[in-house]
Structure 1
Amino acid sequence: MAFDSLGRFGVWRGYTGFSPEEAREYEQLGYGTLWLGGSPPADLPGVESLLAATETITVATSIVNIWVAPAKEVAASFHRIEAGFPGRFLLGIGAGHPEHTGEYRKPYDALVEYLDELDAAGVPAERRAVAALGPRVLKLAADRSAGALPYFVPSAHTAKARTLMGSNALLATENKVVLTDDTNTARTVADPAIQLYLGLTNYVSNLRRFGFTDADLAIPPSDRLFDAVVAHGTPEQVVARLTEHVDAGADHVAVQVLGDDYLPALRTLAPLLAARS
């Protein structure tokens, strides 16, 4: 799968949050990829209905959780989808969070074993990607898959990841958006999501690597942290923030609009993002 098949910008929502009708509209608006967030089950329900409703858009998982979705079952789903829609599905996998997984052990070792199983089941390395934050897993993603899917990261992480992974690996990062120039409204919408991730060790540890302090990582988070992980403001300001990741080395940015008015926001942003693509 060539990275340009993802487009420069995509749409990130929970895996049950896409309808075929919306998928068609996102494609018409120019978004290149639908990112199915959360932890889709191993049979990957709904992927084919989204692909059938569209013509060119890529569907990707962000991410399949290796602790709850057995590799052999996921591989079977991959091959089923590939048979019907060749070249239009990217399998994103990841190790999730220790707070949510009773069986959690060394995530690096578990990822290696899972990738080994995908190899044995015939899932091509270039058709899968790995959720990665720290240097070791970023390098693993570059070596054993198309590349990395960072989540909840500032653009400084994107720049560091590109340096670690080299120029040939896929780097597709997520960024949250609230389309309003009222900062208080933006924080009211986004703070609950941010606070959720500040309760997860891997995200907090990663943010510390980039200079965020206890004061930044408090509940509620500092303005400095909020501005680093949520693009907010006018449409032009939001697009400028999203393209910071591209300027830092990202191949693709998965746009996660927070709040109930996600579709109007994505419609508004689409032509501005297309101009930056």
Structure 2
Amino acid sequence: MTDETDVTAHIARFGRYGAWGWWGQFSPDEARQFEELGLGTIWLGGSPEHLGPVRKILDATENITVATGIVNIWNTDAAAIGDEFRALDADFPGRFYLGIGAGHPEATAEYRKPYDAVSAYLDVLDDRGVPAQRRLLAALGPRMLRLSADRALGAHPYLTPPAHTKVARDELGDAVLLAPEHKAVVSTDAHHARSVGRPKVDQPYLHLRNYTSNLKRLGYTDADIEDGGSDDLIDALVAHGDAESVREQLDVHLAAGADHVAIQILGSETPATELAAILAAG
């Protein structure tokens, strides 16, 4: 990759916290609000076929980092994505980071060995001039985490408790970005918070082998995963409580070795409000 000083500068661009939303979820006005709050990164999740919506968010903001979480390698052409990256980087130098991933076998008829497929996709990005330090990989297991360290700036794990962050940091080593996503419901009513968070965790994630295998590696059982997820599992994956309590739960990722936490606010039509409260609680 590049020298460690350069890598550290790239990691610093992400800040400690970011806003994670589905592809097209955030309006330009919301993006500006996130930047005004002092968040480091706006994450655009899902499986886009092109990077057009990234441009809208970059256009609406001035300095905040924007990253995909993630572009699915099965429904995008690596050469075309590489060319789109270069066009965005020409217009918004240094602000966009390309997150890619292999998705899930249940959702992709063409699915084959993800490690080999992602490696081949990265080969094309290399040929198209997408620098390794401007790439991130969706990574849960050891091999993909190691690939994140070897051929990208780092890893963007999704749906992981802080216990996974510790494992991931040990696998990645130092000077590699680790930026997990974590869901949050700002509510002191635990029953309500779980009623909001459980459906978002259960469907589809507790029915996808990549995620359930990862949770089992961390010690969760079939009983935890069945029937929408046990309270213990949901609480580990969806922070809840008042803003201060949510901030404390998110910060466990940082204590476990994360550089950045991508916060996905659930149950709100105005996520900037909850994010502002969480940031102010620190």
| TM-score bracket for the superposition, by shorter chain length | over 0.9
- For residues 115 and 56 of structure 1, the distance between their equivalents in structure 2, rounded to whole angstroms, comes to 27
Of 171, 176, 179 in structure 2, the residue corresponding to residue 169 of structure 1 is: 176
Aligned-partner Cα distance in 2 for 1:152–1:245: 12
Deviation (angstroms), 1:260:
3.0
Which residue in the other structure is 1:201 paired with?
A: 209
- 1:149-182 residue CA offsets vs partner (Å, 9 max, x unmatched): 1010110110111011101111000000011010
- In structure 2, what is the Cα distance between the partners aligned to 1:222 and 1:199? 14
Residues 19-98 of structure 1: pairs in structure 2 closer than 5 A = 19-42=27-50, 44-98=51-105
**Aligned 8 A contact 2:33 2:272 in 1:** no
Instruction: Tell me the CA shift for residue 26 of structure 1.
Output: 0.4
- Residue of structure 1 in register with 2:222 after alignment: 214
Cα deviation, residue 121, structure 1: 0.8
Alpha-carbon deviation of 1:19? 1.1
Q: Is 2:21 the partner of 1:13?
A: yes
Question: Deviation of residue 263 (structure 1)?
Answer: 3.2
Which residue of structure 2 lines up, in the alignment, with residue 106 of structure 1?
Answer: 113
Indicate conservation of the 8 Å contact 2:194/2:235, yes or no. Answer: no
Question: Who is 1:271 aligned against?
Answer: 280
Query: Structure 2 length as normaliser, TM-score?
Result: 0.94
Contact 1:29–1:271 (CA under 8 A) maintained in structure 2: no
How far apart, CA to CA, are the structure 2 residues paired with 1:187 and 1:227?
Answer: 8
Contact residue 72 and residue 117 of structure 1 kept, 8 A: yes
Cα distance between partner residues in 1 of 2:35 and 2:219: 38
Give the conservation status (yes or no) of the 8 Å contact 1:37–1:62: yes
Indicate if the aligned counterparts of 1:141 and 1:148 stay in contact, CA closer than 8 A: yes
Higher alpha-carbon deviation: 194-203 or 262-271? 262-271
Q: Answer yes or no: is the 8 Å Cα contact 2:247–2:279 preserved in 1.
A: no
What letter corresponds to residue 200 of structure 2 in structure 1?
A
Query: Offset of 1:97 from its aligned partner?
Result: 0.6
Which one-letter code corresponds to 1:151 in the other structure? Y
Q: Distance in 1 between matches of 2:53 and 2:210?
A: 29
Moved over 4 A (4+): none
CA distance in 1, matches of 2:156, 2:230: 25
1:129-153 deviation per Cα after TM superposition (whole angstroms, max 9, x unaligned): 1000000100001000001010101
Equivalent residue, structure 1, for 2:261: 253
What letter corresponds to residue 106 of structure 1 in structure 2? Answer: K
Q: 2:160 aligns with which of 129, 153, 156?
A: 153
Task: Say which SS state the counterpart of residue 35 (structure 1) adopts.
Answer: strand
Alpha-carbon deviations, 1:79-129, whole Å to 9, x = none? 010000000000000000111101001111000100111001110000001
The answer to whether the 8 Å contact 1:8/1:253 transfers is yes
2:244 paired residue number: 236
5+ residue gaps in structure 2? 1-8
SS of 2:68 mapped into structure 1: strand
Aligned length: 272
Counterpart in the other structure of 2:3: none
Alpha carbons 2:20, 2:181 under 8 Å: kept: yes
Distance (Å, rounded) in 2 between the aligned partners of 1:207 and 1:144: 25
- Report deviation, 1:220: 2.4
Q: TM-score, structure 1 length as denominator?
A: 0.96
> Is contact 2:23–2:45 with CA below 8 Å preserved after alignment?
yes
Structure 2 equivalent of residue 126 of structure 1: 133
Q: State the shift of 1:270 in Å.
A: 2.5
Q: For the residues of structure 1 that align with 2:21 and 2:56, how far apart are their CA atoms? A: 16
In 1, Cα distance between equivalents of 2:228 and 2:104: 21
3-state secondary structure, aligned to 2:207: coil
